[in-house]
Amino acid sequence: MQSGKLDRRITLQTLTVGRDSYGGKTETWTDLATVWAQATPWQGREAVAADQVIAQAEMRFQIRYRADFDQKARIQYAGAAWDIIRIDEIGRREGLFVWAKRP
């Protein structure tokens, strides 16, 4: 993996479930780590629903290997949250391809 291509900062976040003072369930996103990544636009689509144009952007992030997150996590990048679609290992724990879409 060429470190020079990892030129974007992304934040990996995990969902934390807790209880409020009334016993109700609360869900918050907690920062796991901020890492260097290569961000590559993967696909973009537009559709019309209810007379509105709905755009969906998808990205592929390449990061160094990590074993502490999965598809339940999300990525914070360029001021937006990205839901993880798929994670593929590159080589033998050399890195990861993380495919994500904007919700």
* Residue among 29, 32, 41, 37 nearest 69 (CA): 32
Report domain extents, the chain.
Answer: 3-101
The topology under which CATH files domain 3-101 is: Thrombin, subunit H (2.40.10)
* pLDDT value of residue 42: 81
* Residue among 44, 64, 65, 63 nearest 55 (CA): 44
> Mean per-residue pLDDT for 1-29?
90
CB 4 within 8 A of CB 38: no
pLDDT tens string 25-59: 999 999 999 999 999 998 655 555 556 555 568 99
Tell me what the pLDDT averaged over the chain comes to.
Answer: 88
Q: Is the pLDDT of residue 23 over 90?
A: no
> Mean per-residue pLDDT for 13-19?
93
